[in-house]
Amino acid sequence: MTDDALSDLTVPGTLRAGINLGNMLLVTGTGPDGEPQGVAPDMAAALAERLGVTVDYVTFPSPGEVADAVTGDAWDIALIAAEPKRAETVAFCDAYVEIETSYLVPEDSPSQSVADVDRPGVKIAVSARAAYDLYLTRTLKHAELRRAKGLAGALELFRTEKLDALAGLVPALTENAATLPGARVLAGRYTTVQQSIGTKPESAALNAFAQAFIADAKASGLVAGLIDKHGVTGKLQVAIDGPV
């Protein structure tokens, strides 16, 4: 199995890992050499070690750009959220961590739960092509999504245009709420973002190897240990479900 997975690597002896720098829960900093640090980079490094190769981080500012790069053979694995639209071009394994989503609303908002937000006339700021943007694009029936680049861009759009809600990951929204007097995070969730490892569809052996690695990483406590190591306990949970 290992030999077959190694044959799927474009650069012999190197696992090129596509990393999304836009998720501050999964990439929490950079090392002295400038390489990304966090749960996602450590998962990539552990998979490379299991394969017996070195890891090369290929970084992108957003998850959408990581997913797009599959057509240019920029990486062997991608560590982004599994999502049906992305799964059209990326072969995802089961998730290793998951993150709850909700909305941030201003003090005078009539909404009390996530179910209240999908109403005619409601405008929601969202980070373009984030997994929850793709989910809301599929599922919202009445509210309008207003997109910005990245989490910071969505927050700025929400503030400057005085929109009705900001969609995002609960841990980030909680931090945002602390900077906006009266703002609150709504109870409930509209989805759970499941962070996974994806491969090129033709890399079936590498995908199977990564799938087995993820199952072992969750069962052995490796994923839980990385969550603690990088200070995101209570913000990330070890995933218990399969791919989205």
Given this model, what pLDDT does residue 150 score?
Answer: 86
Given this model, what pLDDT does residue 145 score?
Answer: 98
In a domain, 42, yes or no: yes
Given this model, what pLDDT does residue 223 score?
Answer: 98
Tell whether 205 and 168 lie within a shared domain: no
Q: What is the pLDDT of residues 210-242, one digit of tens each?
A: 999 999 999 999 999 999 999 999 899 999 854
Residues 174 and 101: their CA atoms lie apart, in Å, by 11
Tell whether 35 and 113 lie within a shared domain: no
Residues 182 and 204: their CA atoms lie apart, in Å, by 50
In a domain, 244, yes or no: no
Tell whether 91 and 205 lie within a shared domain: yes
- Note the pTM of the prediction, 2 decimals: 0.86
Q: What is the CATH number of the domain that holds 18?
A: 3.40.190.10
Q: Which domain holds residue 20?
A: 2-97+194-238
Tell whether 88 and 201 lie within a shared domain: yes
Looking only at the bridges linking them, the beta strands covering 97-105 and 184-185 are antiparallel
In a domain, 134, yes or no: yes
Tell whether 52 and 18 lie within a shared domain: yes
Tell whether 131 and 180 lie within a shared domain: yes
Number of domains in the chain: 2
Per residue, what are the HEC states of the chain? CHHHHHHCCCCCCEEEEEEECCCCCCCCEECCCCCEECHHHHHHHHHHHHHCCEEEEEEECCHHHHHHHHHHCCCCEEEEECCCCHHHCCEECCCCEEEEEEEEECCCCCCCEHHHCCCCCCEEEEECCCHHHHHHHHHCCCCEEEEECHHHHHHHHHHHCCCCEEEEEHHHHHHHHCCCCCCEECECCCCEEEEEEEECCCCHHHHHHHHHHHHHHHHHCHHHHHHHHCCCECCEEECCCCCC
Tell whether 143 and 175 lie within a shared domain: yes
Tell whether 58 and 122 lie within a shared domain: no
Given this model, what pLDDT does residue 125 score?
Answer: 98
Tell whether 107 and 165 lie within a shared domain: yes
Select from 32, 114, 34, 18 the least CA-distant residue to 70. Answer: 18
Residues 44 and 222: their CA atoms lie apart, in Å, by 12
Given this model, what pLDDT does residue 241 score?
Answer: 54
Residues 152 and 25: their CA atoms lie apart, in Å, by 14
Given this model, what pLDDT does residue 243 score?
Answer: 43
Tell whether 51 and 136 lie within a shared domain: no
Per-10-residue mean pLDDT of the chain, 244 residues long, equals 93 97 92 93 98 98 94 96 94 96 96 96 95 95 96 95 96 94 95 95 98 97 97 92 47
Tell whether 125 and 85 lie within a shared domain: no
Tell whether 88 and 132 lie within a shared domain: no
In a domain, 243, yes or no: no
**Contact (Cβ atoms closer than 8 angstroms) between residue 172 and residue 28:** no
